[in-house]
Structure 1
Amino acid sequence: MSRSSVQRALKRNDLHPQSYEMWLHSKDPNFREKVNDIVSLYLDPPKDAVVISVDEKTGLQALERKMEPQPALPGQPGRYEHEYTRHGTESLIAGFEINTGKVVAQVRPTRKADDMLEFMEKLAQAYPDQNVIIVWDNLNIHKDGPSERWSRFNEKHGYRFSFHYTPIHASWVNQVEIYFSILHKRCLKRSSYRSAEELKQAVLNFIKQWNQEEAHPFNWTFGGYPMQHERKEAA
Structure 2
Amino acid sequence: MAGKPRRPLTLSVDERRTLQGWATRGKTAQVLAHRSRIILLCADGLDNTAVARRLGVTRDTVGKWRNRFIDRRLDGLGDEPRPGAPRTLTDAQVEEVVVRTLEEVPEGATHWSRRELAARVGISASSVRRIWRAFGLQPHLVEEFKISTDPLLIDKIRDVVGLYLSPPEHAVVLSVDEKPHIQAIERSAPVLPMMPGTPERRSHDYHRHGTIDLFAALNVATGKVIGKLSAQHRAVDFRDFLDEIFHHVEPGLEIHVICDNLSTHKAPVVHKWLLAHPTVHLHFTPTYSSWINQVERWFAELQRRRLDRGVFCSLDELTRALQEWLKHWNENARPFTWTKDADQIIGAIGRYCARISGPGH
Q: TM-score, normalised by structure 2?
A: 0.56
Q: CA deviation at 1:21?
A: 2.9
The answer for unaligned runs of 5 or more in structure 2 is 1-96, 112-139, 350-361
Measure, in 2, the Cα distance between the counterparts of 1:150 and 1:109.
Answer: 19
Measure, in 1, the Cα distance between the counterparts of 2:227 and 2:285.
Answer: 20
Note closer, same or farther for the CA distance 1:32–1:77 as it changes in structure 2 (3 Å cut). same
The answer to which structure has the higher strand fraction is 1
What is the match of residue 14 of structure 1?
103
Measure, in 2, the Cα distance between the counterparts of 1:73 and 1:221.
Answer: 40
CA contact (8 A) 2:257 2:283 kept: yes
Measure, in 2, the Cα distance between the counterparts of 1:202 and 1:227.
Answer: 39
| Mapping for residues 77-92 of structure 1, pairs under 5 Å | 77-92=199-214
Measure, in 1, the Cα distance between the counterparts of 2:272 and 2:287.
Answer: 25
Measure, in 1, the Cα distance between the counterparts of 2:283 and 2:209.
Answer: 36
The 3-state SS of whatever aligns with 2:211 is strand
Note closer, same or farther for the CA distance 1:219–1:13 as it changes in structure 2 (3 Å cut). closer
Give the root-mean-square deviation of aligned CA atoms: 2.2
What is the match of residue 220 of structure 1?
338
Whichever residue aligns with residue 11 of structure 1, its letter is: R
Q: CA deviation at 1:89?
A: 0.6
The answer for unaligned runs of 5 or more in structure 1 is 1-7, 229-235
| Number of positions where the alignment pairs a residue of Structure 1 with one of Structure 2 | 217
1:208 and 2:330 are equivalent in the alignment:
no
What is the match of residue 223 of structure 2?
101
1:120 and 2:239 are equivalent in the alignment:
no
What is the match of residue 30 of structure 1?
152
Measure, in 2, the Cα distance between the counterparts of 1:201 and 1:24.
Answer: 36
Cα displacement string for residues 150-190 of structure 1 (whole angstroms, at most 9, x for unaligned residues): 33212333x11011100011011000000000000111002
The 3-state SS of whatever aligns with 1:197 is helix
CA contact (8 A) 2:236 2:270 kept: no
Q: CA deviation at 1:134?
A: 0.4
What is the match of residue 85 of structure 2?
none
Whichever residue aligns with residue 190 of structure 1, its letter is: R
The answer to which structure has the higher helix fraction is 2
Q: CA deviation at 1:12?
A: 6.7
Q: CA deviation at 1:15?
A: 4.0
CA contact (8 A) 1:91 1:107 kept: yes
Q: TM-score, normalised by structure 1?
A: 0.85
Choose from 134, 137, 154 the match for 2:260.
137
What is the match of residue 232 of structure 2?
110
Measure, in 2, the Cα distance between the counterparts of 1:155 and 1:55.
Answer: 21
The 3-state SS of whatever aligns with 2:338 is strand
Measure, in 2, the Cα distance between the counterparts of 1:226 and 1:15.
Answer: 31
The 3-state SS of whatever aligns with 1:32 is helix
Choose from 175, 189, 206 the match for 2:308.
189
* Bigger radius of gyration: 2
CA contact (8 A) 1:69 1:190 kept: no
